[in-house]
Structure 1
Amino acid sequence: MRRRRPRGVLDGGVPAHTVRTPAAPRRPHRIDVLIAGGGLLCGLLLWTLHLYGGPPLFGLPPSLTLVALAAMSGAELMRRTAPMAALAVAGLALTLDICSGTLVATVLMFTDVVYAAVLYGGPAAARRIPLYSVLLTFLATITLAALWHDPQVVIVSIVIALGTIAPAWTGVIIRDHRDAAQAARLRAEQTALLAEMDRVQAVARERARMARELHDVVANHLSAIAIHSTAAQTIDDPAATRDALGVIRENSVQGLAEMRRLIGLLRDAKAADGGDGPAATPTLEGLEALITQARTNGARSGLSFVLDTPRATPRLVAPVELAAYRIVQESLTNALKHAEPGEVLVRLAQDGDGPLTVTVRSPYADRPGPRAPGSGAGLVGMRERIALLGGEFEAGPRSGPAGKVWLVRAALPASKEEQRR
């Protein structure tokens, strides 16, 4: 069965189960070895100096305190690798130590094992050990008070609390701080990942936008150059060749100017922000010049171009006007490359505050190949432009009263509500 991916990993949230206790190492940590060795040496020194708690209970020999000391040192070695096993061994060693003489070193190492069990144990251990330590201290206090009617019971209870409650709750505090630091580090890594993803997506969007602009700016002029250079090579007429070379020169100059304007925009951030610089965003006011240029380029192909626009076209936001202009430009370029001789109709219509509808209709040609080579990126670019604005786009052959035509239709949202977005 496939494991489900934890929720909240990339949405800025850090679920509790993603902050996990680090995996226990297989070998004792060097700090644990130092603690175990230091505790063992201190205990042996105290034993040598006869500095232990009191007489043994139940007639046990005092030498058993050394056994308890050695067991407690072994528990210290397991404080990270097996914290719960270490706590069990430490509990038995402490019981033996209290019954046989009580070395301070053994008691101090027991408090460290309790602390380590909370810090390095599982989540269940971290929740239960502090509660059990409080319960154990309470029961021990009640038992001592019932069996030993002496004010020193209070002092003994405080000592028991310092050996159980204090290390357990200290481990809880340290564990909470560690988990909070891990959660903060995870959030920082997720933030960095999201920022990198946003950067990559922004770069990809900008590359796609530049590719569309470069295609739309260059393809129109280069298509005209390719068509007329082919005509100049195939027609043995000095006058026709001279006219074709004139069109080629005009398109070369205009294409070079468009390229310089676009490069200037890319290099000059001030111009891109609306400062002084080249105006690189065409508007619908430039459609007349676009149609005039298309008439010049398509004259020898038997194409005529007609522009049908409303008498008063309201000013639209820049992205909408740019998209409409580029759609007409690319459609005219495709007509020059593919259309049969006939009329190419460019129509713009808008009903009140409704969408701006751009329609380009050209005679459909079922020819084996275009007049000039193409990459097919024009239709893709037009679809991308319309999709970015949330409009509708269709392109393809249609049958009508005048025969079969190639129809490009785009509906661009141009209402006031869209303009405010």
Structure 2
Amino acid sequence: MGRVRLSERGQDVAIAVAGLLGGLLLIAVGAYDRRPGWSEWAPVLPLVAMAGLSLVRRRWTVWTVSVGGVLFGVAVYVGSLVPTMLLYTDLLYAAVLYGPARMSRVLQLSGAATTVVLTGLTWRYASLSEALLVAVFCGLIFLSPVWTADLLRRHREVAEAERLRAEQTALLAEMDRRGAVVAERARMARELHDVIANHLSAIAIHATGAQAVARRQVRSADEPLVEALAVIRENSVQGLAEMRRMIGLLREATPEEPYAAPRLVAVDVLLEQAAAAGRSAGLRFGAEQHGEPGELPAPVELAAYRIVQESLTNAVKHAAPGPVRLCIRYGERELEITVESPYRAGEGRAVPGAKAGLVGMGERAQLLGGEFDAGPDGQTWRVRAVLPRTASGERE
């Protein structure tokens, strides 16, 4: 069972009620130092007043400890009651713990002075043993709660300082990390711009020049060479545009030119590009869709788009002549993508970076908590990816 934790207000009420009930019980049984000439219920007044001060001991520390000192003197005069004394020590404790910083010094000086004066008077008019007893009693009442609260307050201040120092250290570490990330993103953007983007620009320029030469030679538009040049130019221009958008994202693109992540609604464009590129290789592309697309989280839609794009690209590179079928199935909890293309062992040719696309597609699916597999099934090469429709990748 867990412990019951009271609020600050609840703690104050509990202390006041406990002190009041304990004092009334002791008065009822006569367990207190009763003074001659006073009613047996005379200590009730300072007891009730002290309990009332306990309810506001956190808010008005100076007033409660001042009025409490007067009530303590009255309580000792009309009849010493232990709960009243304990409530007063709690007021001293609260004044140091919750009051101004100078309260500790003031109460220590006043408590020490009171102890010295009362001890001296007792020694003067009574005996040394009684004076020592008064000194111990005054130390317990006036000084021990002050010292205890002062020690606790110092520990709290040290703990708070350490907490602030830890937060500052964590903040500096986070700033350093963000600075390193920004620097790395800038470096990646420079590399992409200076290397890959320049190569794509060169490909587009050369393809455009080759098309111009073909037009001067009066070549037919449906000639395979002319079609291949058109596909090369279109893909290089599109790749360059996406590369520039990615560079803008790495460089923290401005609101006027945000990075637009591709979406599955543009899958028809991918099919048209793949069909144009694979026509000379005898490939025919088709697609079908099942279920309602609904609203997909951006990470899921981006991963699905890239998997479709890479699968169609691989089909253009490696598939044997025949139909290539894309199937997108929208379920209630999952999105399933299947791409089937003709396959014969030994078909296709190795190119730089072979199989890197399969690894990348598998990583995209795994990061979202999905599944991915690709491989031959008889005379068909099948790529299948199942992505959860939640951004976190957690299945319900």
Shorter-chain-normalised TM-score: which range? 0.3 to 0.5
Higher relative contact order (CA 8 A, sep 6+): 1
